[in-house]
Amino acid sequence: MNRTVLDPLTMKDWQLAEAAEGHMKPLRQLAQELGLREEEVIPMGRQLGKVDQRMVMDRIGAQATGKYIDVTAITPTPLGEGKTTTTIGLVEGLSKLGKRVSGAIRQPSGGPTFNIKGSAAGGGLAQCIPLSPFSIRMTGDIDSVTNAHNLAMVALTSRMQHERNYDDVRLAKTGIRRLNIDPKRVTVKWCMDFCAQSLRNILIGRGGKMDGFEMDSGFQISVGSEVMAILAVARNLKDLRQRLAKMVLACDQDGREITTADLKVDGAMAAWLVEAINPTLLQTIEGQPVFVHAGPFANIAIGQSSIIADELGTRLSEYHVTESGFAADIGFEKFWNLKCRFSGLKPSAVVVVATIRALKMHGGGPAVKPGAKLDEAYTRENLGLLEKGCENLEAHIEIVKKSGVRPVVCINGFHTDTAAEVALVKRVAESRGAYAALSQHWLKGGEGARDLAEAVVAASNEKNHFKFLYELDMPLRQRIEVIAREIYGADGVSYTDVALEKAKQFEADPATARMGTCMVKTHLSLSHNPDAKGRPKGWILPIRDIMVYRGAGFVVPVAGDIKLMPGTASEPAFNNIDIDVETGRVKGLF
C-alpha cells in the first residue's frame, strides 16, 4: 500500500478508510495468515466473514498460548480518548515488531454511530476496515440481539393479554399455564439500537382487549440488553442456549420470577442467535486480523468484546489485544472481575490510554463538549493544569495494580501535545510503577506505535500476580462497598429503600448470592456524578436500584441517575452521513 496517500491531517477517517479498502487483503488470505482453514470461515458478502468458533475450537483445543492484552483508559472526555484507536494501533505496532497478533473489539452501536461519538472503528491510520459495513449492519449481530430480546417481550405481553381475556378452562384447552404476571413487576423493557430518549417511558396496549395489555413500559438501547451480555460471556452455543432460558422478565403476583423458559420463548430466541455466536473477522488498515464481537456501553452493560473472540485470539496468535469499555473503573473492573472469572483467561498486560487533553480537563480545564471548538487551554502548553489532572491517571494506574498486573500507560499523542507535557505524564506514570510510552498510531499507524508495542512486550514478559478484587462468597452489599471504596474512591455506599430490599433478597437467595457484580455508573467520572472530574473525594455512592441478569450470571447495581436509553444530541452525526448514489458508498462516518 502506498502510505503517502493516507494523510490523517488532511483526510477524514472515512476517506482514509475508503482509500485503504482498495488495498485490503482478501478474506481468504486474512484467514489463512491467522491459521484458519477455508471451511472454518463463513463468507458474509464480499468483504466480511464469520469464524465458525465451534469448528476452530474443536481443532485447536482449549489451551490458550498467546499473550493476552487488555486496553482500557483514564476517565474520558465526552469525545473519547482513542481506546479503540489504541487497540488497533497496538495490533499494528506489535506486527511491526514481527509478532503474530490479533485484536478483538466490540461492534459499534447505532446509537453513538449516528449520534455524537460516531463509529468505533478507531481513527487515522489505526482503523478497522471496511468502515461502512463495520459501522452499519455488519453481519447482523445487533439486529439478532434486538430481535431475540423483543421476541421475549412479545411472548411476555401477549401472555398477559391472553391470561386477562381467557378463563382457566379456555387457557387449559390452548395448553397455556396461567402465570399471573404482575404488570407492575415487569423488569425488562423493549430495545432498539438508537438513542431515543422519547421512548424511555411509554404506555403500551392502548385500545380494546385485542390490542394488548395496557401498562407502563419503555425502551432501552439494544447493546445494554441482557441478550447482548449473554453473547459476550457465552462459551459456545450450548452455553448461550442455557443462559437464555434463565433470563428473568417479570414476577408474578406472589413475587416468583417469570423466565423466558416459563414463556417457552427461550428456544426461539436462541434461533435468532445461531449465526451471532460466531465472531466477525475484519482487518486493520495495515492488514492484521481483528475479531468483532459483542457490544459497547460498559457504563450500562458489561461492555466487553466477547469471551469467544478472546479464546480464539489467544489460541491463534502470539499476542491478542482485546478492548474494555470506557475507563479502568468501569470497563477494566468488569474485564477483571467478570470476564476473566467467566473465561479463565488472565491478562499478561493492561494498557491504560490517556490523552493530554483529558488530563487537562481533569485538572480543572474548561468543559469539553461534542461539536464545540476546543478551548485554547487544550491546545497550548499548560503544565500546571496537566499535573493537577494526572490525579485521575494515578487513580486508574492504582486500579489496574490492584489486579496484580503492572499497567502500561499509553499517551495517545495529538499534534498539539508538547515534549514537556509528554515528559510530565511519563514521569508521573513511571513514579506510580507503570510503564509509559508515547504512541502516534493515529498519525503513523504501526510505525508510530512501536514504543508502545515494545513496552507491552516488556510488561507481558513480567511475572504478574493476577487476583480478583472480591471472591464470590462475599455478600453483595460488602462487594458493592469494596468496589465503591477500592475502585471509585468513595467513602461509602447508600441505598434507596427499593435497592436495599433487593440487596437483602439477592443475598438470601443461593441462586444470586454467588453471581458476579456488574455495576451501572457514569463513565464521565470516577464517581456517580458526571460533573465531578479529577479524583473526587468525600462522597458516597448512591445505589438507586438493583437488577438481576440470571442468564448472564450477574447482579446489576445501578448508581446515580444514569439512563439505560441514551438521548440523541441536537447536532447528531447522522446530519453528516450520506451516500454516493452512483456507487452506493457511504460517506461522512467518523
Q: Which of 117, 235, 315, 339 is catalytic?
A: 117
Count Cβ neighbours within 10 Å for each residue of 209-237 and write b for 16 or more, e otherwise.
Answer: eeebbbeebbbbbbbbbbbbbbbbbbbeb
Report whether the peptide linkage leading into residue 130 is cis, meaning its omega lies within 30 degrees of zero: yes
| Pairing between β-strand 126-129 and β-strand 122-123 as defined by DSSP bridges | antiparallel
Whether 85 is a known active-site residue: answer: yes
Q: Which of 185, 196, 341, 414 is catalytic?
A: 414
- pLDDT for the residue numbered 1: 43
* C-beta atoms surrounding 448 within 10 Å: 22
Q: How far from 342 is each of 116, 121, 309, 338, 468, CA to CA, in Å?
A: 33, 26, 14, 6, 12
| Nearest-angstrom CA–CA distance, 313 and 290 | 9
| Contact residues for 141 (Cβ-Cβ < 8 A; gap 6+) | 107, 231, 275, 276, 280, 293
Whether 291 is a known active-site residue: answer: no
Q: Which of 83, 243, 388, 477 is catalytic?
A: 83
- Among residues 495, 147, 522, 551, the alpha carbon closest in space to that of 300 is found at 522
Whether 152 is a known active-site residue: answer: no
Q: Which of 219, 326, 336, 590 is catalytic?
A: 326
Q: Report whether 311 contacts 56 (CB < 8 A).
A: no
Q: Report whether 128 contacts 85 (CB < 8 A).
A: no
Domain regions of the chain by residue span: 3-140+276-460, 143-267, 476-559
Indicate the pTM of the whole model. Answer: 0.94
Q: Which of 272, 336, 442, 539 is catalytic?
A: 442
Which amino acid belongs to residue 254?
D
Averages of pLDDT over each 10 residues, the chain, 590 residues:
71 90 93 96 91 94 87 93 95 98 93 79 92 88 97 96 88 85 95 93 93 93 95 96 98 96 98 97 97 88 94 97 94 97 96 97 91 87 96 98 98 95 98 98 97 98 96 96 98 97 94 93 95 96 96 94 85 84 83
- pLDDT for the residue numbered 79: 84
Q: Which of 50, 67, 106, 388 is catalytic?
A: 106
Q: Which CATH number fits domain 143-267: 3.30.1510.10, 3.30.70.120, 3.50.50.60, 3.40.50.720?
A: 3.30.1510.10
Residue 492 burial by Cβ neighbours in a 10 Å radius (0-12, 13-18, 19+): exposed
Q: Which secondary-structure segment (H or E) carries 333?
A: helix 333-334
In CATH, the architecture of 3-140+276-460 is 3-Layer(aba) Sandwich (3.40)
Whether 106 is a known active-site residue: answer: yes
CA trace torsion 579, 584, 585, 590 (10° rounding): 30
Q: Which of 20, 298, 449, 459 is catalytic?
A: 298
Whether 444 is a known active-site residue: answer: no
Q: Report whether 211 contacts 227 (CB < 8 A).
A: no
Q: Which of 72, 75, 77, 85 is catalytic?
A: 85
Q: Report whether 127 contacts 237 (CB < 8 A).
A: no
Whether 83 is a known active-site residue: answer: yes
| Lookup: cell for 12 | 477524514
- pLDDT for the residue numbered 533: 96
Count Cβ neighbours within 10 Å for each residue of 300-334 and write b for 16 or more, e otherwise.
Answer: bbbbbbbbbbbbbbbbbbebbbbbbbbbbbbbbbb
- pLDDT for the residue numbered 2: 45
Q: Kindly report, residue by residue over 4-32, the tens digit of the pLDDT.
A: 479 998 998 889 998 999 899 999 999 99
| Nearest-angstrom CA–CA distance, 183 and 284 | 48
| Lookup: cell for 28 | 481468504
Q: Kindly report, residue by residue over 251-277, the tens digit of the pLDDT.
A: 999 999 999 999 999 999 999 999 999
| Lookup: cell for 6 | 493516507
- Mapping DSSP onto H, E and C, the string for 360-393 reads HHHCCCCCCCCCCCCCHHHCCCCHHHHHHHHHHH
- pLDDT for the residue numbered 179: 95
CATH number corresponding to 476-559: 3.10.410.10
Whether 117 is a known active-site residue: answer: yes
Whether 200 is a known active-site residue: answer: no
